Structure 1
Amino acid sequence: MANPHTGEIALVVNGERCLAKLTLGALAGLETRLETGSLMALVERFEGGRFSASDVISLLYAGLSACGWEGAEADLAEAEIEGGPMQAARLAARMLAVAFVVPGEGDGAL
């Protein structure tokens, strides 16, 4: 079970339940791959609904990798995520939100 107090989310990738979490290392790796060059720009894109499918894949991949997922980012791009693209986007946004919220100091919504 995912622990939202530690920033974890759960998702199903190719029929397998996985955990994902944006650790500091995952965030650093994500920052180097972003086209905008900053995590805050990514947060702003999600808040404004201006994120791309690449943003979603990069976020989910960073979080999955931090929890031991062994696939490549290209594997995730080809994967079936339960709930489809909209669910994948919701989960990526949720993971990003909980990475920057201190438990008890907000609801974690973007």
Structure 2
Amino acid sequence: MKLGIFGRAIVAASTLWMIGGTAFYASEQYAAASRLAQGHYNECLDSDLDANFCSDQRDIILTAHTDHLDGGLIGWAAVQAGVYLAIGLIVFLTLYGALKWVLAGAHSQTNKS
């Protein structure tokens, strides 16, 4: 099957989204995990607990929210980007198909007159 310009544009945009979206979701998840771990670390130090214990707990929390995600951080982020890509393509192609159908009906009306 040969792809026209429309099909090639969709493939190129999807590829760019998967690369950019994966990087975006990975960085957002890592930043959220870092904020959570640092918040716990600060609370732990405020409780007058040992700094080494607090540091170990911070590392455990960070690892749990990044490396221990299903598929690792990058795998998890790629799945997130893929889900949004699939939803976006379904919506776009539905709207595109509806618009083509409406325009085909308008075109057939002008040919009858």
TM-score normalised to structure 2 length = 0.27
Which structure's residues are more often helix, by fraction?
A: 2
Which structure's residues are more often strand, by fraction?
A: 1
TM-score normalised to structure 1 length = 0.27
